[in-house]
Structure 1
C-alpha cells in the first residue's frame, strides 16, 4: 500500500513537472492575436458613434424636426417628459468609445511611428466629449476611461467650463501636430487616413467648439474661431465627416424607421411648414406621405409632392391629436422621412459637415470676428447642404437649376443675419439632432415656442435644456454626482448647461 502511494505521488510530481515544460507555448492560442492594433479601436470608435433613435425621441422632437405622438417607451421631447431609459442612451453609447480612445492615446503617445493615430484619437475624443457635455452638462472628463489604466472606477465630474477649455486646447494642439509625412492610418473609416482631411476636420471641429461659447465667453470664442479659420477648415462636401453604412453595418435611424417604429415617427409641422412656405426644394428630397398601413401593409404608395406634405404638430399625443388644427383624418396622412433615402438602413450618419462649417464662418464674419463675406458663405452653405443630399441616393438629389433658383430668390440680409444663418443651420442639421439641439440652445434660432403639452416634469412654458444623468451614476458614483449638482443645479430637464446663456 505504501509502495502504491509512493508511485502515485511520483506520477503526480512528474506530471506537474511536465506541465511546466513549454507551458507558455502550449497555453498560447496560435491564431488569437496577443495584441490589438490601436487603429482598430479608432475604427470602432468611428463606427459606433452613429446616432441612435434616442436622439429622435428627445433632441429631434425638441427642435421640431420630428414628432411622435405615442407615450410609454417613446415619451420624451414630444411631451416634455422624463424617460430614464432613453435619456441615458447617449451616455451608454459614447462612454465606451471614450474608453477605447483613451486606450489608443495611452498606447501611441510615445510611439513616434503612430503619432498621426495619436492625434486623430485626440480629435475624435474631443468630438465625443463635446456631444456628451452638450447633452448632460458637467460630466466625467479628466478621469473618464481610466478604469483599466488607473483603476479609476468612480471618476469626478468636471465643470463644463473646464471641459470646454481643454477641448479647445486638445483639438488645437492635435490638429496642428498632424503630419502628412508620417505613417498613414488606413483603418480610419472616415478619411482612409488622409491627413489633409483630418486637419480640415480638426479645424472645423475647433470652430464648432469655439462658437458654442459665443455667449458664455465671447473673447475665448473669438480667439479660437480665428485660429480655426487661419488653420484651414473644410473646403467642400468631400471633407464631410460621415459614417457610410451598409447592409452589414446599418444605420440605427434606418433600422428604427424601417422596423417596428416605422409608423410612429413623423416630420414635425414646424419643419415641414417652414420648407413649404420657403419654397425649399429640399422638402421633396426629405418628406413622403405613405399609404395607410391598414390598407397597404407594405406602404408601397408614396406621395412626395411638396404641396401635399403635412407635418405633425407638437403638443398632442395619439389620443388628443384628432383635435389638433388641420388634423388630416389619420396619422398615416402626416408626412414622414423618406425611408429609401434619408431614412434608409444604409444612409450615412453625418457628424461635421461643410455646410455647417460655412454657416459658422458666416456667423463669425457677421459678428466681426473674422474677415470674410458672410453673405457668400451663407449662400455657399445652402448650396452645399442641398448638394450633400445626393449622398442619400439619386431620389434625394436636387437639380442644380433648383438650387440656383432658390439662391436667386433668397438673398442674405445682414440685419437679420444671425437668425437667417442659424435657421439654415437647423435645416442643415436634420438627423444630426444633437448638433441641431445644441446650436438652437446657443443661439435661440429658429425661434421655437415651448411645448404646450401638459406635463409635471418641467415647469409650464419652459423647454428641455439638457438630459438627466443615468440612475447608475446616482447610485454608484453618488459623491461626484452630488458635487456636480451643487455647481450645476438640480438634475432636471429644464436646467441650463454652462454655455446655454439666456
Structure 2
C-alpha cells in the first residue's frame, strides 16, 4: 500500500512539472540582449578578413594568414625552424581546405546574398553601400580562392555550399577556378562606386573603395602572370587590361598592407609567434645569398645573432659577422646562435604585413615587358631596377648602398627577375612559394633531413575528401594527377 501511494505521488509530481512547463512563459530569458538577431555584414567581413592577416585563436596559438603563410616561407627557405622542425622537413603531407569554405568563403557568400536579397537589402545597407559590399566580398573571395587553388589545385566550388542538397559536389579544375575569379574581379570592379560608402567592418582598407579597386587589379596582374606559360593569350589580355586602366601600384606609397590592432585579439601574428617561443630563425639559404651578393637588405631582414658568428663575413669591416643563418630542416635548438627576423616585426604589435607592393608589381611589369606585353612603354631593364629600388626603399636601405647594389646587379635574363622577386617577397610566404614554383628559380636545395627530399609544389587533399566524396575525388585526381605533394599544378609547366 505504501509503495502504491508513493507511485501515485510521483506520477502526480511529474504531471505537475510538465503542466507547469507548458504554462510558464520564460520570456526572453535565453536571448542575448547584446547579440545580433540576424547576420551582420560588417561582422561577417571582419571575420573573413582575419584569414588574410592571420589571428590568435585565444589559446595562445597564432593561426597563419594568407599573407603570413609560414609554410611557404619555410619551403622557399627564407626562414627555417628552431628546435622543432616540421614544415622545413616537409612533414605535413595533407592539409584541409574546410576552414576556408565553412568560414571565410561562406561569410563572403552570405554578404553577397544579404546585399542582393530584396528582403534584407535595406538592413544590409546600414553597413555600407550594397554594391560596394558585394564588390568587396567578390574581390576578397577571389583572393582567398586564388590562394586555395594555388595550394591544392581543383576545388569543389561551383557545386559547393548546398549542404544536404548536394553533400558530394563536383570539383572545378584550377583553370575553371581562375576563370571564375577573373569574372568575379571584373564584375566587382565594374560595380565599385568610390563616391558611396564602403563596407563597415573593413579592417583591411577601412572602406576605401579605391584601395579595393587597386587590390583587385593587383590580384589580376598576379594571376595573369601565373598562367602566362599555359594560357599566354588570356594572360596577356588580362595583364594589359590592368595597364590600360592605369590602376596599379607604382610607388611604395600605394603599397597594400594588412594592418593589425594593438590588442591580443587583433595584434600581429608575427608578434604573437615570438611572445613565448623562439621557433623561427633566418635560413642559411637566405642569409648566405644576401651575403654573397653584398645585399644591404641583409641588415634589414635580420637581427645580429646573440651568440653565433658567421664563418665567412664578406661585407667591408666584417659588419655582417654576427648575421648567421641556420641549416634548413635540422634541429636548431640553440637559437641564440642564429639571427631572428628584424626586431620591428617581432616586437611591434601592429606592424603591417604587405599584401601587394610596388617592388612586386615592378618585377611583374618587367617580366611582362620581356614577354612583349604592353606595360606602358617602360623598358624591362628600367622596371627591373625600379623593382630593386622599391624593395630597398621599403626596407629603409641607404640611398648610396641601393645605387651601388643596382649598378653591380644589372638585368641579364629572366632568372634575374625571378631572383630579385624571391628576395623582395621576404616573409610573403604564399606568393614567394608560388613564384618559385613558376620560375623554378633560384635553385633551392631541399632539406637532407626530409623523409622525401623534394620541396613540395602543392598540398595534398585531406583524407576526408576521398572518404566523403570518392567519385568526385577520383575525377579531379584523374584530371590533374596523383594526389601528392609533387604533382605540379595546371600553370606549373616549366
TM-score range, shorter chain: 0.7 to 0.9
- CA change 1:92–1:36 in 2 (3 A) is closer
1:102-501 matches, within 5 Å, as 102-109=109-116, 111=121, 113-147=129-163, 151-231=165-245, 232-248=247-263, 249-260=266-277, 262=278, 264-292=279-307, 305-314=319-328, 317-318=330-331, 332-341=336-345, 344-371=348-375, 372-373=377-378, 374-389=380-395, 397-411=396-410, 413=411, 415-416=412-413, 418-449=414-445, 451=446, 453=448, 455-457=450-452, 462-501=454-493
3-state SS of paired residue (1:311)? coil
Unaligned runs of 5+ in 1: 294-303, 322-329, 390-396
- CA change 1:125–1:12 in 2 (3 A) is closer
> What CA distance in whole angstroms lies between the structure 1 residues aligned with 2:169 and 2:238?
29
The structural deviation recorded for 1:42 is: 1.4
- CA change 1:94–1:306 in 2 (3 A) is farther
Which deviates further from its counterpart, 156-165 or 476-485? 476-485
Residues 332-385 of structure 1: per-residue CA shift (max 9 Å, x gap): 322221244367543322222232122111111121111432223222222222
> What CA distance in whole angstroms lies between the structure 1 residues aligned with 2:421 and 2:244?
22
> What CA distance in whole angstroms lies between the structure 1 residues aligned with 2:142 and 2:371?
26
CA contact (8 A) 2:280 2:340 kept: yes
TM-score by length of 2: 0.81
- CA change 1:103–1:121 in 2 (3 A) is same
Aligned partner of 1:66 in structure 2 is: 79
Which deviates further from its counterpart, 165-174 or 284-293? 284-293
> What CA distance in whole angstroms lies between the structure 1 residues aligned with 2:76 and 2:183?
30
Instruction: Work out which of the residue numbers 19, 39, 43 in structure 2 matches 1:40.
Output: 43
CA contact (8 A) 1:47 1:243 kept: no
- CA change 1:156–1:257 in 2 (3 A) is farther
3-state SS of paired residue (2:351)? coil
- CA change 1:383–1:345 in 2 (3 A) is same
3-state SS of paired residue (1:222)? helix
3-state SS of paired residue (1:140)? coil
- CA change 1:234–1:189 in 2 (3 A) is same
CA contact (8 A) 2:305 2:336 kept: yes
Which deviates further from its counterpart, 372-381 or 203-212? 372-381
3-state SS of paired residue (1:174)? helix
3-state SS of paired residue (2:467)? helix
> What CA distance in whole angstroms lies between the structure 2 residues aligned with 1:333 and 1:27?
57
- CA change 1:137–1:349 in 2 (3 A) is same
- CA change 1:188–1:12 in 2 (3 A) is closer
TM-score by length of 1: 0.80
The structural deviation recorded for 1:24 is: 8.1
> What CA distance in whole angstroms lies between the structure 2 residues aligned with 1:99 and 1:358?
34
> What CA distance in whole angstroms lies between the structure 2 residues aligned with 1:159 and 1:15?
55
- CA change 1:345–1:481 in 2 (3 A) is farther
- CA change 1:12–1:139 in 2 (3 A) is closer
3-state SS of paired residue (1:351)? strand
The structural deviation recorded for 1:125 is: 0.3
CA contact (8 A) 2:385 2:406 kept: yes
Residues 208-231 of structure 1: per-residue CA shift (max 9 Å, x gap): 111110111111111111112212
CA RMSD of aligned residues (A): 3.3
Which deviates further from its counterpart, 170-179 or 345-354? 345-354
> What CA distance in whole angstroms lies between the structure 2 residues aligned with 1:344 and 1:437?
26
The count of aligned residue pairs is 450
3-state SS of paired residue (1:180)? coil
Larger relative contact order (CA 8 Å, sep ≥ 6): 2
Unaligned runs of 5+ in 2: 1-10, 55-62, 309-317
> What CA distance in whole angstroms lies between the structure 2 residues aligned with 1:156 and 1:105?
23
Residues 273-331 of structure 1: per-residue CA shift (max 9 Å, x gap): 221222222111111234259xxxxxxxxxx94343222233x5239x9xxxxxxxx65
